[in-house]
Structures are given as C-alpha cells and as structure tokens.
Amino acid sequence: MALLDQIHSKRNQSCYLTLSGDIRNLGLEVGIGSSVEQETALALFHERGLLIHLTSTVVLKNIVVIKPQWLVDALGKVICDGSLHIDKDEFKHVGLEEDLTRTFEMGLASRDFLDYVWKGEQVDFFLDLMERTMLLSKWHFSENELYLIPSLL
C-alpha cells in the first residue's frame, strides 16, 4: 500500500507516471525493487480501479494513468462534434485548417492534427490506446500518415 500512497501523492504534479522511470523509482523508495513485484502491484491497483495500467503493448505498458479524467479529456479532443467544440480559427492560424476539415468531414485525421490537439504529449500512447480499443485505425490508402476515426463518419 505504500507504493499506492506514493503514486497517489504524485496526482497533484502529473496525470500519468512512466513505468520505466517514475514507478521504478517510487518502488525503490518503498522497498519494492523487483520490476515483477511492481507490475504485480500495478495489476492489482488497476483491477481495483485505483489507476489505469494497460499492458497489451509496450507503449501502453509504460504509461500508468493516475488521473483518468486526463485520458477522457484527451480522447474528447478528437472524438467530439467539431462544429461545437473546435475553434476553426485556431487551426487556420497554425496551418491545420485542411487537416481539421478532413478530420471532421471524412473521419481521417493526420498525425500533425493529432500532435497538435494532444499538444505533443504522449501521442503514441493515445494512438495505440485508440487503435487497441477500435476507436481509430491506420489508413493505408494514402501517402500521408492518416488515421480513420469511425465515430467521426
């Protein structure tokens, strides 16, 4: 439980922790030095709903979400009603107007668009999460790196 207390003490500073860095160090601080023991503890905390730790890929496994609202907010920046929640002038100003239009009219988001809406923070994590939960898939029919978001169709 000391590990859980240490993890929760970081909630005011961050929305997520990295397994390879933050969790490893916190585990060492409380006397849990084995990565197997740390991962077992995280699995228990995840099962109990105390944090989110997905393990199906290396990218997902390395992020431990300690503020679930962060995850909801990030996904909500993409899966939303663009006519209500998106400031078109902002995207025009940064040169992503065409990407914005393609995303909300055709359901095809560019990597640049996703990098921008997620402010470059943990983009690979969000892409992997959305792909694993079938909220997004890679679009292989274009030279550009595009992602199909079915809920926007």
Reading the block at residue 56, the tokens are 């199906």
pLDDT tens for residues 33-54?
Answer: 899 999 999 999 999 999 999 9
pLDDT for 123-135, tens place per residue?
999 999 999 999 9
Here the tokens at position 35 are: 């990565």
Report the candidate in 52, 75, 56, 69 with the shortest Cα–Cα distance to residue 122: 75
- 141: CB partners within 8 A, 6+ apart: none
Q: How far is it, in rounded angstroms, from Cα 100 to Cα 8?
A: 37
What order do you get walking across the sheet with 137-139 strand by strand? 108-110, 146-148, 137-139
Convert the pLDDT of each residue in 76-94 to its tens digit.
999 999 888 888 999 999 9
pTM: predicted TM-score of the whole model, two decimal places: 0.92
Q: Which two tokens stand for residue 117?
A: 């809406």
Tell me the HSE value of 69 on the side-chain side, using a 13 A CA sphere: 2
